[in-house]
């Protein structure tokens, strides 16, 4: 019989979703003494398309200190964030309106994931797609699977992304809201660059009417960091109507996925647009990239991160626009704090309630921050060609009221 005051030692936990948030959950909950099973619908290893991510440098230290990644995890540190705009005088590299300073570690998503995945207990992963969740009166959670299986757990953590079965189960009236624009993404091998110098030690942000986007180096798929072996990651935000969104999100095979590869015709049309609005250096990177992707941008706040013995984590919980740069960080922090809550000397339900309250409040603020950044950088973006650093700082402070520093660390 399930005990409400039971500790995490021996707790039978199911984690739905095995990407970054799910893998981190599996590692830390197992170390806390739980028996963990990961249900991942896409197979043993999610698809890696060479995507890059940026996290505060302190987060890498936290990951290393907690033995979630290798001490030599390949990454680059950017200290500059030039905000640029194409002008007639600065047609190639753009007018630098604000050479913002900071510090961020740039990682290859696949390398980060593999570091986490190899630390998940052998045999914990199971290829299975969850179709429904049901909590019984005795506290056990039944996970109904597409293959007809129905494993039972004493706690289920849903780390299954923005279309989470967990969120749909707990809060059926809460749906991710399309914010009116998409992110067009691509990757280019450094060997195909005309020159590398503009991207050294920087995340460059060319802007245009209706959007902007980052360009930066990340290690190669094998973790290579040498000059000539890196990858350029880029993304451009585009405002599109619901009808246009449906068209863009139809992949080459005619299907709809979360981040489909576009058809050559649509890709060529967008590349022509990029040629017309971006400084030439960045337009050339876009033009040389192949098999580019597009993802619709959504946001969503949730009333809680837990009901009963079902919890949400990562984008299954609060879903913030990617301008915040906290996607992977949020999922990792959810895992760190949940493991700490379960290890605390408190009844399980009380520990889960406290954890949910803290993560819900943090998620709410993150969603608001993402909305403010989206309004400033896409919806109501000004003409940066007419601004200098002082003007941009005044403008930024006037539209973003939540301190971004509060999201700059994972929990130590």
pLDDT single digits (tens) 217-263: 999 988 999 999 999 999 999 998 765 777 777 655 544 455 567 78
Q: Which is it for strands 155-158 and 177-189: parallel, antiparallel or unpaired?
A: unpaired
Q: Which of 372, 377, 366, 371 is nearest to 327 (CA)?
A: 366
pLDDT classification of 289: cutoffs 50, 70, 90: very high
Residue 204: strand, helix, or coil: strand
Evaluate whether 75 touches 105 at the Cβ level (below 8 Å): yes
Number of Cβ within 10 Å of residue 57's Cβ equals 18
Q: For residues 173 and 159, what is the distance between their CA atoms, to the nearest angstrom?
A: 19
Prediction pTM value: 0.90
> Which position has the higher pLDDT, 407 or 380?
380
Across the chain, what does the average pLDDT equal? 89
Between strands 35-40 and 125-127, the pairing is: parallel
| Mean pLDDT of the 318-343 span | 92
Task: Compute the residue count for the chain.
Answer: 412
Domain ranges of the chain: 12-47+112-176+299-377, 52-107+177-298
Close Cβ partners of 386 (under 8 Å, ≥ 6 residues apart): none
Structure tokens at 409: 């660390």
Pick the CATH number of 52-107+177-298 from 3.40.50.1220, 3.40.50.970, 3.30.9.60, 3.30.70.330: 3.30.9.60
CA dist., res. 18 & res. 161, Å (int):
10
Q: What is the CATH code for 12-47+112-176+299-377? A: 3.50.50.60
């Amino acid at each position: 019989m399930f005990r409400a005051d039971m500790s995490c030692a021996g707790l039978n936990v199911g984690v739905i979703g095995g990407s970054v948030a799910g893998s981190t959950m599996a590692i830390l909950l197992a170390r806390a003494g739980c028996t963990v099973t990961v249900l991942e619908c896409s197979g043993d290893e999610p698809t890696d398309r060479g995507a890059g991510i940026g996290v505060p440098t302190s987060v890498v230290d936290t990951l290393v200190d907690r033995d979630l990644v290798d001490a030599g995890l390949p990454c680059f540190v950017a200290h500059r964030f030039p905000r640029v705009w194409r002008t007639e005088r600065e047609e190639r590299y753009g007018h630098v309106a604000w050479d913002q300073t900071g510090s961020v570690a740039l990682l290859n998503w696949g390398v980060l994931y593999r570091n986490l995945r190899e630390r998940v207990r052998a045999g914990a992963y199971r290829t299975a797609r969850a179709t429904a969740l049901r909590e019984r009166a005795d506290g056990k959670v039944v996970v109904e699977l597409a293959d007809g299986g129905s494993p039972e757990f004493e706690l289920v953590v849903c780390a299954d992304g923005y279309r989470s079965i967990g969120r749909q189960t707990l809060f059926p009236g809460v749906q991710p809201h399309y914010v009116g624009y998409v992110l067009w993404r691509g990757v280019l091998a450094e060997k195909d660059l005309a020159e590398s110098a503009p991207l050294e030690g920087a995340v460059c942000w060319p802007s245009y009417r209706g959007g902007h986007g980052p360009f930066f180096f990340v290690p190669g798929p094998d973790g290579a960091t040498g000059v000539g072996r890196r990858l350029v990651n880029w993304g451009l935000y585009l405002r599109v109507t619901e009808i246009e969104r449906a068209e863009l999100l139809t992949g080459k095979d005619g299907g709809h996925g979360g981040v489909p590869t576009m058809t050559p015709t649509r890709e060529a049309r967008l590349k022509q647009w990029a040629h017309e609005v971006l400084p030439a250096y960045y337009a050339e990177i876009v033009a040389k990239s192949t098999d580019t992707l597009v993802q619709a941008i959504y946001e969503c706040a949730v009333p809680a991160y837990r009901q009963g013995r079902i919890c949400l984590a990562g984008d299954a919980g609060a879903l913030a626009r990617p301008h915040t740069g906290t996607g992977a960080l949020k999922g990792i922090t959810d895992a760190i704090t949940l493991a700490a809550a379960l290890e605390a000397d408190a009844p399980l339900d009380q520990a889960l309630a406290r954890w949910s309250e803290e993560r819900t409040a943090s998620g709410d603020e993150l969603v608001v921050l993402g909305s403010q950044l989206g309004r400033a950088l896409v919806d109501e973006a000004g003409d940066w060609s007419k601004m200098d650093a002082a003007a941009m700082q005044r403008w930024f402070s006037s539209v973003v009221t939540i301190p971004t520093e509060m999201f700059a660390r994972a929990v130590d």
